[in-house]
Amino acid sequence: MEFLHKPVMLQECIKGLNIKEDGIYVDGTLGGAGHSNEIAKKLSSRGLLIGIDRDEEALEAAKKKLEKYSNIKYIHGNHDDIEELISKIGINKVDGILLDLGVSSYQLDERNRGFSYMGEADLDMRMDKTQSLTAKEVINTYNEEELRRIISEYGEERFAKQIVANIIKQRNIKEIEKTTELVEIIKRSIPISKQKDGHPAKRTFQAIRIEVNNEIEPLFNTIKQCVNILNSKGRLAVITFHSLEDRSVKKALQELEGICNCPSDLPYCVCGCKSEGKVINKKPITASKEELENNSRSKSAKLRIFEKI
């Protein structure tokens, strides 16, 4: 299957990165290479683009798409380890980093990966096929309390209690192996009158995917790592698609910007507050009306940009 991808807020990201033609840039979520292709266009032969992705299929597809460029290095790895990954190729500082979080269009469309609630596939949902934890293991081995927390918190699913109760009931009879089995359980758990707002399995599948790929927990420290390896005036651009992602990114950037915790009646700061830079856009950038009409993935997207001092 071809790795098709419509990059979200492409021009907004490119503008936000403020690209220098001889600079070093990192696409920490290479995916379909839509953003990377535009970054590469703006680099001279002395510039460098580093593409990181945990999905080996994405890396191979990106190499083909970007084969005309000779100044790109590809890394199979997780952007949560960005500092270590670029250090291994002899680089300590960069001029810009882009993180386009969440699942790619290809991963959703490639039915055998198990990300989609449309069609039948094994319950997999791994972005990195070399890791051991799968959606099947989460669904069949996590206890009731763990499953309820994940689906409620990561999926913001108000029927989490009923869904988990029916998952437990079904897996006691037979192991749940296919996406279609999970979809049927979810449909039975949500009143038909409440199934009008999109597909009833959407929120639960999102929650399980986030758990399988550990998408939220390390994010706060990932943002800090990214800023740590930026050169002065270097920029970090982050696109989020989920409220928990955005909350974690926002909190990290606020802390990096410097939050004084001193009592308001003190004449000067004594808490040792230090600023690493500034948030360029106080309110997150969202997709234009035109993009919203042509790219459904942009609907919940928020872009935040940070510049290092």
pLDDT in tens, 260-283: 777 877 777 777 778 899 999 989
pLDDT digits (tens, 9 = 90+) for 234-262: 999 999 998 999 999 999 999 999 877 77
Q: Specify the higher pLDDT residue, 3 or 179.
A: 179
Q: Name the superfamily (CATH) of residues 115-212.
A: Putative methyltransferase TM0872, insert domain (1.10.150.170)
- Where are the domain boundaries for CATH 1.10.150.170 in the chain? 115-212
Q: Quote the CATH superfamily of domain 10-102+216-308.
A: Vaccinia Virus protein VP39 (3.40.50.150)
| Higher-pLDDT residue of 25, 118 | 25
Distance CA(16)–CA(133), nearest Å, equals 36
Identify the three-state secondary structure at position 6: coil
**Where, residue-wise, is CATH 3.40.50.150 in the chain?**
10-102+216-308
Helix (H) or strand (E) holding 154, with range, is: helix 144-154
Q: What is the pLDDT of residues 101-119, one digit of tens each?
A: 977 666 666 667 888 888 8
State the pLDDT confidence band at 1, using cuts at 50, 70 and 90. very low
pTM of the model: 0.87
Give the per-residue pLDDT at 222. 96
Digit-coded pLDDT (tens) for 184-223: 999 999 998 887 778 999 999 999 999 999 999 999 999 9
Over pLDDT 90: what percentage of the chain?
A: 75
Pair of tokens at residue 271: 């808490």
Return d(Cα 238, Cα 28) in angstroms, integer: 10
